[in-house]
Each structure stands twice: as C-alpha cells, then as structure tokens.
Amino acid sequence: EEAREERWQPRVSAVGSVMAFQGTIVSTEADGIVRDIKFQAGTMVNTTDELVQLDVEIEQAQLRAAEAAAEWARVSFNRAKELFPNKSIPQAELESTDSGLKQADAQVDNLRAVIAKKTVRAPFAGKLGIRRINVGQFLEKGSPVVSLQALDPVYVEFSLPQQRLGDVAEGLTVAVISDAYPGDH
C-alpha cells in the first residue's frame, strides 16, 4: 500500500442528550369537565389544532342570554338615538342606553372568550406524548393535558472537559451516534 499524507482532525467524544427544539406540557386555561379528546398519543399536530374540548353548555346558555340582552340594548340605543334630536328624551337617557349597549357587548365578548379558553389547542406544531387526561375528568385551570415536542430540528446537548475546550471552534462538524440507530450518523 502506498503511503499518502492525510490531515486528521482531533476527535473528542462526549455523552449527550437529544433535546427538542421546543417543548411544553400543554395545559388548560379554564376549569371544566373533559367532554372530548381529539388526539391520539404519539401523533403529529399543527399549530392551533384542537386537542381537548371541555364542557361549555353553561357558558353557551349564558352567551345566548347575553346576546339577547345585547340585541335589546342595541334596539333601545337606536330608539333613543332617533328620539334625541327631537328633544323627546334627555341626553342622559341617550348616554345611559349607549353605556348599556357597550356593557352588553362586553359581556358577549367575555363569554365568547371563556368558551374559546375551554378548547385546548396545540400552541405549536410537533409530536404529542402520552395523554394525561380522560373523558369525564374534571380539570382545574393549569392542569396538564399532554406533552408536545417540536422535533424539527432537534439539538444535542453535551459537555466537554475544560482542557478540551481549545479543540472546539465554531463551524466544526459534529457526528452524533445513537445506540438506538448504531449505523446512522
């Protein structure tokens, strides 16, 4: 065999941990009973995909009542607005009906927000872990539902002895080998 000159790079070995680019435990934003679980453990999800629906029957009934009150407040305000130019009602009554309409609309918006918080959605795309809930279970605000990990890309975290830090520089190639995939780098 003919001898040839090659440049060898020093190698440094270290044990590391593979970490997701982004990860979290998805949790609830409101109290409620689990009515529907819309995911399977281990599946990939996209941002805003529905994961869990909590009970919203009471809030929906309250919303219908609030919408009816808002409609009545709108009718009253429009009537007052028509009567005010003729001096048939005082300005205070017009302002009162305007205030009542704004309060009714705010109540509708509030109930819609409460209903929206009872749908648990994926905050980012990734892979789901094992679910931590069951249908019919009561969850308090902040209860964990499932882990979610963004796996593209992943990072490998490792440490080196201080005396080897001089061998490391930005731009060097890192080879990662896993016992689970022995032939892959």
pLDDT higher at 93 or 111 = 111
**Interval 124-166: pLDDT, tens:** 999 999 999 999 999 999 999 999 999 888 888 888 888 888 8
**Interval 33-45: pLDDT, tens:** 999 999 999 999 9
CB burial string 19-39: b at 16+ within 10 A, e below:
ebeeebebebbbebebeebeb
pTM attached to this predicted model: 0.71
Mean pLDDT of the chain: 90
What was the pLDDT predicted at 85?
85
